[in-house]
Structure 1
């Protein structure tokens, strides 16, 4: 495995694990979908380091070097059950290098190597598409609760300070053959909140529900976002979150159409459904929300339900780290082995990879 100076697209499976009693089982999530043995582009650590058993999994998504001597690695951290591990800091990581003259690995000083967690915005983005049912039943009975829940969702998912790598768009549907845009993709939390607060009871002209059409159209939007990421040589992931309080009434598209669209979609797209009330078809929503589905018995439960999901989405997105350091290796040393270990409380994990020091000199910052 060799590091390279430019990125290529590598599938990322993200965005959600939620332990909620009303949702579909976590067993439905294949954590190794794109990562092979779970380590992505990495491999198990050489026994000479004697680091012991791992409680954490570091799955390398992409890696590259930058002259005069910087090594950069984007990886995802999870526990062995697949739950994301967010909030790690640079001082929790230890770097080990092995050159051609080393029998085993040498520890690289964190201070001397200027090891750090950098913003991953230039190589990774996570887009969320929130799709709201604004048919007559919602507008007449639960609009205020839905708006409050949606605002909480935005506040939890979007970073406090705008970051270009985390964006959200909001759409809504009724009975028309159109997925209506409420707010285009943006990194502005306030813009999204203002859009939600602008929803009124007379926003819709068609009281029916085109649920299947909304699923199909929102999936196409997510697919287009991934294509744009690929074009820009960025690792992209998208999350489609569909809320409804009923079943498809428009009958414009079939259940089979919607499920085929979801199941044929890129593995980089995660699908979540939120159902409200007694008129939903829980099996249909579970099938559409193949990553996770959750159901609220009444409007008063909506905010807590949205909050539970949004927090997990945020944790998943923030479990991706761009770790960078200045290597002491220099031009002529060839290919070198690298191990990164993380310790989080009583949990630890490590992954091994390689990098080429061709062209490396002093002066790295």
Structure 2
């Protein structure tokens, strides 16, 4: 029998499975892939679909507007005026948390790069927290990682973060990289347990200038944790001790390698931009259904012209909803009531 899974990890595993399962339901057009995450149907006649959009290369597509989506019910186009379709701020239904895990072992703190690492990390958090709640933890050779700042989206915390990170001194100058990554994923679990929204997405960003030296946790255990987590995991590396291969083992969602101190900020910026694009590629499309009873198929068709391109990319997805009891009086800005405890993607056994 498998050990009991924490409720937050179960929730994220359910969401991950939901994404995988819905990919087979979504219809992939030329250039765009729409992946359904969750659908809600609420009285009086509100339908909301939460999904992400990627291009043909798997790159996230952000910044689309409601006008770039068409809604069909049972194959018939739903009037924009009748449906009042709109894109809601995804924050009303989904919580995005990012944890930045920074190597503050002796090789970083005692080097000339320490100040640049701190500055790049703080700039990274200030940019990412526009759409994410961000926490910073540091690690050295000790068994436990060290909290610099908890999950927050408040810009007022920037000065406190700067002082805490700049003043950090390792008690053990070794590098417990593997153990820190495993713990970082656990901290994301704990943070998202407290999130108020039913849909919860996590991202771990790891910065290091070397490989694990403490040997507190094996590489196999760490890699297994990275592979099994539904969270996005990015890795930023510094220096000649690391190779792209080393980073790719950790950063299953993306990597950036700074060969010297002059490339540190660029490396952090590239991962920050990736996370920003990823976050903005999630859409919460809400509309008022003309249906008043029965089960229906809703199809969302998307069209997008990439910057600098002339050819339009298209794609679509399908989902089901029950209109039993629907009536007049719909407000498309109503917060959807997503229920992740129901659906084929979630096992009823823990």
Q: Which TM-score band applies after superposition, normalised by the shorter structure?
A: 0.7 to 0.9
Q: Indicate the residue corresponding to 1:310 in structure 2.
A: 272
Please state whether the residue corresponding to 1:144 is helix, strand or coil: helix
Q: How does 1:318-337 map to 2 (within 5 A)?
A: 318-330=280-292, 333-337=293-297
The 8 Å contact of residues 96 and 340 in structure 1, kept in 2 or not, is answered as yes
Q: Indicate the residue corresponding to 2:96 in structure 1.
A: 126
Structure 1 residues 251 and 329: alpha-carbon distance in aligned structure 2, compared to 1, 3 A threshold = closer
Deviation at 1:299, TM superposition (A): 1.0
Q: Indicate the residue corresponding to 2:254 in structure 1.
A: 292
Query: Which of 185, 193, 200 does residue 236 from structure 1 map onto?
Result: 200
Q: Indicate the residue corresponding to 1:250 in structure 2.
A: 214
- Corresponding residue pairs, total: 314
Q: Indicate the residue corresponding to 1:353 in structure 2.
A: 319
The yes-or-no answer on 1:97 pairing with 2:63 is no
Query: Which of 185, 193, 200 does residue 151 from structure 2 map onto?
Result: 185
The yes-or-no answer on 1:340 pairing with 2:300 is yes
Q: For each residue in 1:156-197, what CA deviation from the matched residue of structure 2 results, as whole angstroms up to 9, or x when unmatched?
A: 3221xxx6xx21110001122220000011122341464034
Please state whether the residue corresponding to 1:59 is helix, strand or coil: strand
Q: How does 1:56-135 map to 2 (within 5 A)?
A: 56-98=32-74, 105-135=75-105
Structure 1 residues 260 and 9: alpha-carbon distance in aligned structure 2, compared to 1, 3 A threshold = closer
Q: Indicate the residue corresponding to 2:3 in structure 1.
A: none
The 8 Å contact of residues 69 and 362 in structure 1, kept in 2 or not, is answered as yes
Structure 1 residues 115 and 193: alpha-carbon distance in aligned structure 2, compared to 1, 3 A threshold = farther
CA distance in 2: counterparts of 1:364 and 1:114, whole angstroms: 9
Q: Indicate the residue corresponding to 1:54 in structure 2.
A: 30
Structure 1 residues 244 and 139: alpha-carbon distance in aligned structure 2, compared to 1, 3 A threshold = same
Q: For each residue in 1:2-59, what CA deviation from the matched residue of structure 2 results, as whole angstroms up to 9, or x when unmatched?
A: xxxxxx877445xxxxxxxxxxxxxxxxxx99424625xx4449xxxxxxx4321111
Task: Give structure 1 stretches of 5+ with no counterpart.
Answer: 1-7, 14-31, 46-52, 99-104
Q: Indicate the residue corresponding to 2:235 in structure 1.
A: 273
